[in-house]
C-alpha cells in the first residue's frame, strides 16, 4: 500500500497551540505524520530535546497516525528515514514567507522527490510563537490558551526552578 507519510519538523521549544493546530489539521491530510523535534547544536533551548518530545507525545496522544521523534542533521535525511515524501510547515504571516521559502527551496534542491506543504495557521494563533510564550512565562505572565495545559504547567515549573537557582 502506498501510504502518504509526512514529517512536521520544528524546534518546538515548547510546542504551542499554534503548532498543535497545524499538527491536528495536517494529521487529517496524511496516513502518517511524524513530528520531528530538531536537536540544534547551535541553540540553547529552554527544554531538552527529551522534554520537548515528551510534551509533544502528551499533546498529540489523541491523534491517530501521529508519531513524535527527535532528529539532528538534515531534515530531508530524517524524512527519508521515515519514508516521508512531504514536509509540513505552518505559515503564520507574510513575515514567515522568506524564511520558509528559503528552507523549502534548499530542501527541494537536496531532495527533489520530497515536497513542502504549507498549512496556514488559524488566525487566532497568527501572532503566536514559542519565543514570545517563553518570554511571557519568564516574567510570570499568563500563557493559558497559548500553549496546551500540560506545557503551561511545565513552563511554570521550569521558570520556578530557574528562579531558585
Site membership for ligand PNS, residue 18 (CB under 6 A): no
Please name which of 9, 65, 73 lies closest in space to residue 37, comparing C-alpha atoms.
Answer: 9
Contact indicator for 165, 144 with CB cutoff of 8 Å: no
Assign 142 to helix, strand or coil.
Answer: coil
Site membership for ligand PNS, residue 132 (CB under 6 A): no
Query: Nearer to ligand PNS by C-beta: 3 or 74?
Result: 74
Query: Nearer to ligand PNS by C-beta: 109 or 164?
Result: 109
CA distance 72 to 141: 32
**Cα distances (Å, whole numbers) of residue 50 to 6, 86, 122:** 21, 24, 28
Query: Nearer to ligand PNS by C-beta: 92 or 154?
Result: 92
Site membership for ligand PNS, residue 103 (CB under 6 A): yes
Q: Could you say which of 27, 60, 107, 121 contacts ligand PNS (CB under 6 A)? A: 107
Binding site for ligand PNS (CB under 6 A): 9-11, 38, 74-75, 103, 106-107
Amino acid at each position: 500500500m502506498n501510504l502518504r507519510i509526512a514529517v512536521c519538523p520544528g524546534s518546538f521549544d515548547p510546542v504551542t497551540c499554534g503548532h498543535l493546530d497545524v499538527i491536528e489539521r495536517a494529521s487529517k491530510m496524511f496516513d502518517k505524520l511524524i513530528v520531528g523535534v530538531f536537536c540544534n547544536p547551535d541553540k540553547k533551548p529552554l527544554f531538552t530535546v527529551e522534554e520537548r518530545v515528551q510534551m509533544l507525545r502528551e499533546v498529540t496522544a489523541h491523534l491517530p497516525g501521529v508519531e513524535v521523534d527527535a532528529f539532528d542533521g538534515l531534515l530531508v535525511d530524517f524524512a527519508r528515514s521515515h519514508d516521508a515524501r512531504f514536509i509540513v510547515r505552518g505559515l503564520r504571516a507574510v513575515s514567515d514567507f522568506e524564511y520558509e521559502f528559503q528552507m523549502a527551496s534548499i530542501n527541494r534542491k537536496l531532495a527533489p522527490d520530497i515536497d513542502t506543504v504549507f498549512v496556514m495557521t488559524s488566525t487566532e494563533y497568527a501572532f503566536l510563537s514559542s519565543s514570545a510564550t517563553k518570554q511571557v512565562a519568564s516574567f510570570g505572565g499568563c500563557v493559558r490558551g497559548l500553549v496546551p495545559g500540560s506545557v503551561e504547567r511545565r513552563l511554570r515549573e521550569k521558570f520556578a526552578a530557574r528562579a531558585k537557582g
